[in-house]
Amino acid sequence: MIPGTERRLFRLAAALGLLGATGLAACGLFKAALALTLGASVAIVSALWLSDLVGRFEAPEKVAPARFDWKFGLKAVLRYAFVGLALWGGLRMLPADVRWVVAGLSTVVAAVVIDGVLELLTGRRSGAGSAQ
């Protein structure tokens, strides 16, 4: 299960992608809207998988000998294969709109930045900031 902060980030990233694609489609740039949607969906799915992958790195409660988990390795390889194939296929279909695919890929990063700024502003308003 995704904790509240991660869930908020993924919802914000999806909203940014949807807002951008809607704006482009409203301007009549349908190929650009499709390219932005492709980039945003690949970024969000990749970030969800990465979140799941990092969640497995929690410290075990018992001290156990380290061993290689082949399922863990396979999921990591499949994640990068999916991202690479999705981007390659998308760029082959939409070669003129590479900048919009890259903009879509940055939705998760933009969501993290926006969430960080909002947390900073909220922290300062409540007096819990480090400057006080």
49-63 pLDDT, tens digit per residue, is 877 777 766 666 666
pTM of the predicted structure, to 2 decimals? 0.73
pLDDT band at 1 (very low <50, low <70, confident <90, very high): very low
pLDDT, position 66 = 59
Q: Average pLDDT of 105-113? A: 91
Q: Assign 63 to helix, strand or coil.
A: coil
* Residue 54 identity (one-letter amino acid): V
pLDDT(36) > 80: yes
- Reference 41, options 8, 76, 83, 5; nearest CA is 83
pLDDT(132) > 60: no
pLDDT, position 48 = 83
Radius of gyration, CA atoms only, the chain: 18
Q: Average pLDDT of 3-7? A: 74
37 half-sphere exposure, CB direction, 13 A CA radius: 13
pLDDT band at 74 (very low <50, low <70, confident <90, very high): confident
pLDDT, position 130 = 54
pLDDT(19) > 90: yes
